[in-house]
């Protein structure tokens, strides 16, 4: 494991790109429907228990949250807006902000799309994936909570999503479990390529 993941620290939180850090270096976004296990995944990959706040109330994160690995590299926790209780006005603003992020953010180096392995590729997931594919952004799909599925069911979920994305050369799919630390090495290795640690 690259030690910089363990050194991740909270940098800032802002409601839109206007308050974001300077557009330089490398940024990797984490996106997922509320309750998909996004915050837990960030905590697991950084080997920290409380870096990203895990909320019992889905849809609680309504800001862009930046975590610094070093002066050139950041993880970005995007708001989880696949949740019905978020007001329509907020969803529309989020959609505008995300469009701007994908179109204008030069330092965007990769995306981790977090999906519950039991319910992958919902409309929100597909929308995020389409955004990533449209700009050829290297993308890692994490099928989380794999520990909640039997081995055969988990393999089937993985194969199904891989079939769905087979035409997208920059998209990889893996199983992941924060509880069991399953798939952690694979995630670190992929992030290393996003952040330019390896070619």
In the sheet that 139-144 helps form, which strands lie side by side, from edge to edge? 9-14, 64-70, 73-77, 26-32, 108-116, 139-144, 171-175
Q: Is the pLDDT of residue 37 over 70?
A: yes
8-31 pLDDT per residue, tens? 999 999 888 889 999 999 999 999
85-127 pLDDT per residue, tens? 677 887 788 888 888 888 899 999 999 999 999 999 998 899 8
Are 46 and 94 spatial neighbours (Cβ–Cβ below 8 Å)? no
Asked: is 3-194 a CATH 3.40.50.300 domain? The reply is yes
Q: Is the pLDDT of residue 84 over 80?
A: no
Q: Where are the domains of the chain?
A: 3-194
Q: What is the mean pLDDT of the chain?
A: 90
């Amino acid at each position: 494991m690259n030690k910089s993941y363990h050194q991740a620290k909270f940098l800032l939180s802002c409601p839109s790109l206007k308050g974001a850090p300077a557009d330089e270096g490398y940024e990797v976004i984490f996106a997922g429907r509320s309750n998909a296990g996004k915050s837990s995944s960030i905590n697991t990959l950084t080997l920290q228990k409380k870096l990203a706040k895990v909320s019992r109330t889905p849809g609680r994160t309504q800001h862009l949250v930046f975590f610094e690995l070093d002066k050139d590299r950041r993880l970005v926790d995007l708001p989880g807006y696949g949740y019905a209780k978020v007001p329509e006005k907020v969803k529309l603003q989020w959609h505008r902000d995300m469009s701007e992020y994908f179109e204008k953010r030069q330092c965007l180096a990769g995306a981790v799309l977090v999906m519950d392995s039991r319910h992958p590729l919902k409309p929100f997931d597909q929308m995020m994936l389409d955004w990533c594919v449209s700009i050829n952004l290297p993308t890692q799909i994490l099928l989380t909570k794999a520990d909640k599925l039997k081995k055969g069911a988990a393999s089937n979920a993985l194969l199904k999503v891989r079939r769905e994305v087979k035409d997208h050369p920059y998209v990889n799919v893996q199983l992941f479990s924060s509880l069991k630390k399953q798939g952690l090495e694979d995630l670190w290795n992929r992030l290393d390529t996003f952040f330019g640690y390896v070619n």
